[in-house]
């Protein structure tokens, strides 16, 4: 079977936005939102408090987002919900009024598309919420509800709020506020398919699927793909799967997954023993223990062998997200670690994704601290920001960094060197994660061209016949063309 994935994703750089925390609009709010009970914008985030960021605010910041070199935005959920993160969906057909409603999304999609930027939404289709109309009807009418079979009821009465009583219905991770759909019910299945189709017809460019591995109904995701691609053959379908995702990446379901395997290996190598363990020991998440270059090479080669190349090119590669501590906090504030991780991110096959604020060095521990508001420019780390801009620009200027082959040239101790090649274009990426300057002879016999130009970094390069002698300063990296 020929596997086809959206070409635009192979050339995309994503920006992940948690809408409540990115930007509050200067636009006047609807009358009933003028006096809302919001937390102070610059106060530490809490589990239940709202900051009041909205889609109008994102629209007003498109110049900034585009200035980074971003050409795709992934939003965590935006539909009406009784939670600041909006994974508790009340109405799948309404953008939350606090975010500006459907009108704001319409304006944002149109403005983004005018800039050749794509918009991907979060699809929370495993579970809904206690406030979801269909579940609320079950709470009101019990076994008489027309929707009783849309959910997995165990016994009566249901206890949606009282933790001292059995809930008597299935909920995601046992959280009573998140009743799980009965996906085996044909009406539930059709309801979800129609939601996916509706927003694609509205103009979105793809879906990021929340905990898709929880939906075990045979053929569900195959039909989802058929229906989505039937509306827009170029729509992106990316699943939130943190581990080996071969089961879903066979060409009949998703185009890619959030590539936490790359994340774990890269942080374990580039941050190494600087990783603050208390920031990562949760969520079945293992960016530790530290890896040397040979171990990193083995992990990367294993990752690249997991899936067909067409799917490798449409993986969503992340260094952080709303579910992890911030990279700079994981790295105990070490700026160099952040820059090394990003060098490896932007030179890896697949679409790199920046979690809003990481590009300016925004810190943050475990949830909810990793969901801080976007900081004012006065506290931006300009060096980290410039590194992001440089690397994104290089990725956009050299197709080999996006769709070229990936070959490891050298992986010993603290030094990892690989080449990305596409036809006559070859770029060598060399990283030294150690604390000593290192000189390495790189065998270039199998390359078509001798590298002669340093595009990124501060090392030295001397050609010696068919070899290149590189001097790589401590905790640094190079890109050579």
- Token pair in block for residue 283: 């969520």
Torsion angle of C-alpha atoms 88, 33, 18, 236, degrees rounded to 10: 70
Instruction: Give the 3-state secondary structure of residue 434.
Output: coil
- For residues 145 and 158, give the distance between their C-alpha atoms in angstroms, rounded to a whole number: 13
Residue-wise DSSP of 355-368: ETTGGGT----STT
Burial class (CB in 10 A: 0-12, 13-18, 19+), 117: buried
Which position among 96, 240, 264, 426 bears the catalytic label?
240
Per the CB < 8 A criterion, the answer to whether 326 and 287 are in contact is no
- For residues 311 and 445, give the distance between their C-alpha atoms in angstroms, rounded to a whole number: 30
The residues that bridge with 462 in the sheet, in sequence order, are 469
Question: How many separate helices (H) and strands (E) can be counted in the chain?
Answer: 15, 18
Which position among 20, 210, 334, 359 bears the catalytic label?
210
Per the CB < 8 A criterion, the answer to whether 64 and 47 are in contact is no
- Token pair in block for residue 342: 């990003």
Per the CB < 8 A criterion, the answer to whether 267 and 341 are in contact is yes
Angle at which helices 335-346 and 260-270 cross, to 10°:
140
Per the CB < 8 A criterion, the answer to whether 210 and 123 are in contact is yes
Per the CB < 8 A criterion, the answer to whether 468 and 462 are in contact is yes
Q: What count of other Cβ atoms lies within 10 Å of the Cβ of residue 47? A: 10
Handedness of CA 298, 302, 303, 304 (dihedral sign): positive
310 in active site? no
Distances (CA, A) of 279 to 5, 148, 283, 320, 370: 35, 41, 11, 12, 10
Per the CB < 8 A criterion, the answer to whether 374 and 351 are in contact is no
- For residues 251 and 4, give the distance between their C-alpha atoms in angstroms, rounded to a whole number: 7
The enclosing H or E element of 432 equals strand 425-432
Per the CB < 8 A criterion, the answer to whether 207 and 254 are in contact is no
Say if residue 157 is preceded by a cis peptide, omega within 30 of 0: yes
332 in active site? no
Mind telling me the catalytic residues?
210, 240
């Amino acid at each position: 079977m020929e596997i086809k994935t959206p070409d635009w994703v192979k050339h995309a750089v994503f920006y992940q936005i948690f809408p409540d925390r990115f930007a509050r609009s200067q636009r006047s709010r609807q009358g009933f939102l003028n006096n809302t009970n919001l937390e102070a914008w610059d106060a530490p985030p809490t589990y239940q408090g709202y900051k009041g960021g909205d889609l109008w605010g994102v629209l007003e910041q498109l110049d900034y987002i585009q200035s980074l070199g971003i050409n795709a935005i992934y939003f965590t959920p935006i539909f009406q919900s009784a939670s600041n993160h909006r994974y508790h969906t009340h109405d799948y057909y309404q953008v939350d009024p606090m975010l500006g409603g459907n009108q704001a999304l319409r304006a944002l999609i149109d403005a983004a598309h005018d800039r050749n930027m794509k918009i991907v939404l979060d699809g929370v289709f495993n579970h809904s919420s206690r406030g979801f109309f269909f579940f609320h009807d079950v709470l009101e009418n019990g076994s008489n509800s027309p929707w009783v079979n849309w959910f997995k009821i165990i016994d009566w009465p249901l206890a949606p709020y009282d933790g001292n009583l059995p809930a008597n219905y299935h909920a995601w991770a046992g959280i009573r506020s998140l009743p799980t759909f009965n996906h085996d019910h044909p009406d539930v299945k059709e309801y979800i398919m129609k939601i996916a189709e509706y927003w694609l017809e509205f103009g979105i460019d793809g879906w990021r699927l929340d905990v898709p591995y929880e939906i075990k109904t045979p053929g569900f995701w195959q039909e989802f793909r058929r229906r989505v691609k039937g509306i827009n053959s170029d729509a992106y379908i990316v699943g939130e799967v943190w581990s080996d995702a071969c089961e879903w990446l066979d060409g009949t379901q998703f185009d890619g997954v959030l590539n936490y395997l790359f994340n774990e290996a890269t942080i374990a190598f580039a941050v190494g023993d600087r990783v603050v363990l208390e920031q990562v020991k949760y969520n079945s998440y293992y960016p530790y223990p530290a890896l040397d270059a040979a171990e990193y090479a083995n992990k990367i080669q294993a990752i690249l062998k997991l899936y067909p190349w067409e799917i490798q090119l449409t993986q969503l590669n992340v260094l952080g997200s709303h579910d992890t501590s911030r990279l700079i906090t994981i790295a105990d504030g070490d700026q160099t670690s952040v820059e090394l991780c990003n060098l490896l991110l932007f030179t890896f096959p697949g679409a790199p994704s920046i979690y809003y604020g990481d590009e300016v060095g925004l810190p943050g521990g475990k949830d909810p601290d990793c969901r801080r508001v976007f900081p004012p420019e006065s506290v931006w780390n300009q060096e980290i920001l410039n590194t992001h801009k440089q690397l994104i620009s290089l990725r956009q200027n050299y197709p080999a960094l996006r769709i070229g082959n990936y070959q490891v040239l050298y992986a010993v101790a603290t030094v990892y060197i690989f080449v990305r090649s596409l036809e006559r274009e070859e770029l060598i990426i060399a990283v030294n994660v150690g604390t000593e300057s290192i000189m390495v002879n790189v065998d270039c016999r199998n390359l078509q061209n001798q590298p002669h130009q340093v595009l990124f970094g501060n090392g030295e390069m001397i050609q010696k016949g068919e070899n290149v002698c590189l001097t790589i300063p401590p905790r640094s990296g190079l890109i050579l063309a």
